[in-house]
Structure 1
Amino acid sequence: MKNTTRHLKRVTAAAAVTLAAFSLSPSAASALPGGGSGGPAGEPGTQVVGGTPAEQGEFPFMVRLSMGCGGSLLTQDIVLTAAHCVDGSGENTGITATAGVVDLEDSAAVEVNSTEVLQAPGYDGTGKDWALIKLEKPIDQPTLPIAGDDSLNNGDFTIAGWGADKENGDQQRYLLKAQVPFIDDATCKSAYPNLVEGEELCAGKLDTGGVDTCQGDSGGPMFRKDDADKWVQVGIVSWGDGCARPGKPGVYTEVGTFAADIKKAADSLGG
């Protein structure tokens, strides 16, 4: 985890099960106990700040993970999330993925346990913030394709999650969504000199703040429509300074950079 005294991952405590809001503004949150981007150093990050409730079925690829992170269905039995949400690679039956609903307490929610985790090779807390979670059985929901390059790294992105709806706020029961604009690397580096260009991208309302991912949103997708009007994932919620602060946008793993590695890893898991 990079410089956690200033730039916190957007993770939240595992005990917080009612996570539903994702904040669309500068700074993304992790999902592991004690590592968030939504509060003072050492506290977990939160959800989508400045968001509105998502409609049932609007983002059917969204997944809530029991350790307090978000994720997306790369395939029906593999979840794409953040490397900082998991503890290394190998057999792991202790994670539960919840999908198919915007209300985490909906009786129609589908819950499936993990069988294996594959953390990005070489992940050391800086960049390469992606991981895959293999599920014991498929989830019958649409999947979210990933970008193969950086051609969609522009315009406005959609973010969604069950994280906190404000810095130091509570996890949400209902899925929240928001939109955040792309910020180029040169501009983002003025806020975060340690930005790993080519591996991380930034999004948020730089001047005003107010919209962002937060604690509990770590690992969730940032996505947009392609030329065929289909959703494509371009980012993974990673880290930021606080949640939705002016001058401190959210930082996301640049999916296009790692597309080949992610697909190779998924193939190794049988996805």
Structure 2
Amino acid sequence: MLTYFKAFRRTLAVAAVALAAFSLQPGSAQAQSDPTAEPSPGVVGGTRATQGEFPWMVRLSMGCGGALYTQQIVLTAAHCVDGSGPNTSITATAGVVDLQSSQAVKVKSTQVVQAPGYDGSGKDWALIKLAKPVNLPTLKIADNTAYNNGTFTVAGWGAATEGGSQQRYLLKANVPYVDDATCQKAYGSALTPGDEICAGYLAQGGVDTCQGDSGGPMFRKDNAGAWIQVGIVSWGEGCARPGYPGVYSEVSTFAANIRTAAASLGG
């Protein structure tokens, strides 16, 4: 059961990564030649984000999302990276909702820290240090469970439908919290309570993150009205299926580890 469910990570398959250069076009089925065409609704069941709405959002070249933890460090999912150490192979795109915009800021990675002890079950976080700081706002992370409730926002450039292509424009959606006991009824022992938090419309489905959204943030407003990250897109059974909420790495569980790892990167 564990192996079966964990196979539905929300990153891209190798073949999909290779196709990303032309699939980041409007629409959810095939690339289109008209650069002004509207994309299909996405993240699944979402709408297009406006420029500057979530300025800390980052698209990573391996087909994942992320958020600026500092101006030089991206917080993403452990399953998006291949271990820890020097790494100059990742390109982070930031500052735009349209990945084809000439205003996009593109910066190479220099080093990666994957969650210590990550084995595919829980602990799904990683940090990517960039070659230089990006002059954009950052997204603070939750360091306790106070905000692990209510309605969350998710955003990403991933597929707008299960099995669909990646999106050119950043898409957003709202998803409600699903408690651990309810989520375990769907996923059984595949869920790692304490390491993971669930969200989605359990009865009807229809709104969810999907392949290519892995590593992106799940966030909400704190008591001061500022955005705070409570989850990292991790996995799920398909995308937006009734009875199967999205599963996210629970940021508050790992906040101290993330801070320590960021300090070690010096960013």
1:164 and 1:170, CA in 2 relative to 1: closer, same or farther beyond 3 A?
same
Where do 1:189-208 residues align within 5 Å? 189-194=184-189, 195-208=191-204
1:177 corresponds in structure 2 to 172
1:104 corresponds in structure 2 to 99
Judge conservation of contact 2:205–2:242 (CA < 8 Å) in 1. Answer: yes
Post-superposition CA distance 1:49-85 (Å, at most 9, x none): 0010000000000000000000000000000000000
- State the Cα distance separating 1:48 from its structure 2 match: 1.2
Secondary structure of the residue that 1:123 maps to in structure 2? Answer: coil
Identity of aligned residues (%): 70
Post-superposition CA distance 1:203-225 (Å, at most 9, x none): 00000000000010000000000
Task: From 31, 45, 49, give the equivalent of 1:50.
Answer: 45
Post-superposition CA distance 1:68-116 (Å, at most 9, x none): 0000000000000000000000000000000000000000000000000
Task: From 260, 263, 266, give the equivalent of 1:267.
Answer: 263
2:228 corresponds in structure 1 to 232
1:41 corresponds in structure 2 to none
Superposed CA RMSD in Å reads: 1.4
Structure having the larger proportion of residues in helix: 2
Aligned length: 245
Q: Distance in 1 between matches of 2:232 and 2:181?
A: 20
2:181 corresponds in structure 1 to 186
Asked if residue 162 in structure 1 is aligned to residue 165 in structure 2, the reply is no
Q: Distance in 1 between matches of 2:6 and 2:168?
A: 28
2:32 corresponds in structure 1 to none
Q: Distance in 2 between matches of 1:161 and 1:5?
A: 22
Where do 1:1-150 residues align within 5 Å? 3-4=3-4, 7-12=7-12, 13-15=16-18, 16-17=20-21, 18-19=23-24, 48-150=43-145
Judge conservation of contact 2:5–2:236 (CA < 8 Å) in 1. Answer: no
Judge conservation of contact 2:58–2:68 (CA < 8 Å) in 1. Answer: yes
Q: Which has the higher contact order (CA 8 A, sep 6+)?
A: 1
Post-superposition CA distance 1:8-33 (Å, at most 9, x none): 10011322145599xxxxxxxxxxxx
Q: Which runs of 4+ in 1 moved over 3 A?
A: 4-7, 17-21
Secondary structure of the residue that 1:233 maps to in structure 2? Answer: strand
Q: Distance in 2 between matches of 1:9 and 1:153?
A: 22
- State the Cα distance separating 1:4 from its structure 2 match: 4.1
Post-superposition CA distance 1:124-167 (Å, at most 9, x none): 00000000000000111100000001110000000000000000
Q: Distance in 2 between matches of 1:20 and 1:138?
A: 28
Judge conservation of contact 2:5–2:187 (CA < 8 Å) in 1. Answer: no
Q: Distance in 1 between matches of 2:251 and 2:10?
A: 17
- Counterpart of 2:225, as a letter, is D
TM-score by length of 1: 0.88
1:105 and 1:121, CA in 2 relative to 1: closer, same or farther beyond 3 A?
same
Secondary structure of the residue that 2:55 maps to in structure 1? Answer: coil
Q: Structure 2: 5+ residue runs without aligned partners? A: 27-41
Q: Distance in 2 between matches of 1:133 and 1:123?
A: 16
Asked if residue 220 in structure 1 is aligned to residue 223 in structure 2, the reply is no
- Counterpart of 2:135, as a letter, is D
